[in-house]
Amino acid sequence: MDYFGRDELKELLAVQDVPTASIYLETERSSGAEANRLRFRAALEQAEEELSASVSQDQVDQVLDPFRAYLNVEQDFWTYQADGLAAFASPEMHRMYRLPVSFEDLVVVAPTFHTRPLMEYLQAPDRYWVLSISQKEVRLWQGTRSGLTPVDLAGVPRSLQEALGYEFERDELQFHSPKQGGTPGGTGAIFHGHGVGQDDAKPELKRFFRKVDDGVRELLADEIGPVILAAVDYYHPLYHEVSRLENLTDEGVTGNVSNWDASRLHDSAWPVVRETVLEKIDGALQLWENAYSNGKGEADLASVARLAVAGRIRLLLTQHGRNVWGRFDRHTGEMEHIREGGEDPGPEAVDLLDEVAEVVMEKGGRSLILSEERMPTGTGVAAILR
């Protein structure tokens, strides 16, 4: 499936060629191929109708033709979806992301891409990752409380053989624990295979794990969500010994996970994630308390907007479901408040909380969205300064 992070958001925000079309769809996993395809067709028809009101048919085709081609791709693409599909089209750029978050069906034609649903996805405290490792297969999954979706790996070895460049035979580096037939009273794992002894096993595995870890660390460089290791028990201490992933959890999922599906992995990982999410929120709130008491916290939205543009916000906390409508100058940070709550008051108005969060992330800061009950301020925003 597809990875969406801060760099991908920046790419969307940087697009200036108009017109743009943004499409969000709820999709069905595994069994809803035709329904997914038909829903996407209907969204393209709506986008065409809205585009045709302001641009020529040639421009409409330039924007939508690359996505129309997806209507004729093989069935597997529409069968293996996640919970939501986000698609973005402009005359010069086309991007599509299958993600583990359920979007409300939405089509927006505008001068810039509509990124708010993805902003909420990026800011959600329950985003997490599962790194599933066996000798034959390395898999990375991204998830939320609703489930997991596999990520297409880039720069990460997909197997021990790919990582080390050796032609390993089928049974090399296999092992079992002493409890399952090893020497009575012995400790550690017992290895068997062809040409690889017990002394060779740990160094080879550590080299394998380092290469995997380096690739995953680069891929998830901007992520603060927890990473859960899923592997046989012997792999866990070895991987932790070599890993430099700052958000790798101490507790993981243990088992022969190579054949586990997304549902089983999520069910096993979520109890670990739930505790980590609560700890992350508590840590962010403690960070806010310390920053505010030391003059490094700001809760006034107008001041936060100017600080965001100046690149001075380290972490921004915003309230889920709260809308503050107004106008915002991304160059100066000046804002005009129109009203709070209700529907979008017009084409010149923006949701100020979303706009400020976008700028914070563009400038290298982080943003986290919290429930009303956990927000430490009554303004809907709390900024921790650099």
Query: Are 230 and 358 in the same domain?
Result: no
Residue 120 in domain: no
The overall pTM is greater than 0.85: no
If asked whether residues 151 and 257 sit together in one domain, one would say: yes
What is the reported pLDDT for 85?
93
Cβ atoms of residues 365 and 317 within 8 Å: no
Where a domain ends, among 114, 143, 168?
A: 114
Q: Which of 114, 143, 164 is the last residue of a domain?
A: 114
Q: Please tell me whether residues 139 and 270 are part of one structural domain.
A: yes
Give domain status of residue 33, yes or no: yes
Same domain, 167 and 215: yes
Same domain, yes or no, for 227 and 251?
Answer: yes
- Do 132 and 179 fall into the same domain? yes
* CATH number of the domain encompassing residue 49: 3.30.960
Question: Is residue 1 in some structural domain?
Answer: no
* Strands 381-385 and 350-351, sheet pairing: unpaired
pLDDT of residue 198: 43
Same domain, 261 and 341: no
Of 79, 114, 149, which closes a domain? Answer: 114
| Judgement on whether residues 359 and 275 belong to the same structural domain of the protein | no
For position 1, what pLDDT does the model report? 59
**DSSP per-residue letters across 175-189:** EE-GGGTS-TT--S-
Closest CA to 37 of 88, 91, 65, 79: 79
- Per the structure, the complete domain to which residue 21 belongs is given by 6-114
Residue 166 has what pLDDT?
55
Cα–Cα distance list, 293 to 267, 297, 310 (Å)? 40, 8, 22
Instruction: Give the alpha-carbon dihedral of 150, 360, 367, 215, to 10 degrees.
Output: 30
Domain count, the chain: 3
CA distances from 223 to 104, 113, 154, 328 (A): 25, 23, 16, 27
pLDDT at 194: 38
pLDDT of residue 206: 93
Distance CA 376, CA 32 (A): 42
Q: Is residue 121 part of a domain?
A: no
Spatial distance between the Cα atoms of 86 and 9, rounded to a whole number of angstroms: 12
| Residue 66 belongs to some domain of the structure | yes
Per-residue pLDDT of the chain (386 residues), as tens digits, is: 578 888 898 899 888 888 899 999 998 876 678 888 899 999 999 999 999 988 999 999 999 999 999 888 766 778 778 889 999 999 999 999 988 888 889 998 888 888 888 988 888 888 899 999 998 899 999 888 888 888 888 788 888 888 887 544 444 555 444 444 443 333 333 333 333 444 457 888 999 999 999 999 998 887 878 999 999 999 999 999 999 999 999 999 999 998 898 899 999 999 999 888 888 899 999 999 999 999 999 999 999 999 999 999 999 999 988 888 888 998 999 999 888 888 767 667 788 998 899 899 889 898 999 999 999 999 999 999 99
pLDDT at 178: 41
CATH number for position 229: 3.30.420
Q: Are residues 272 and 185 in the same domain?
A: yes
Residues 193 and 310 in one domain: no
How far apart are the C-alpha atoms of 379 and 12, rounded to whole Å? 28
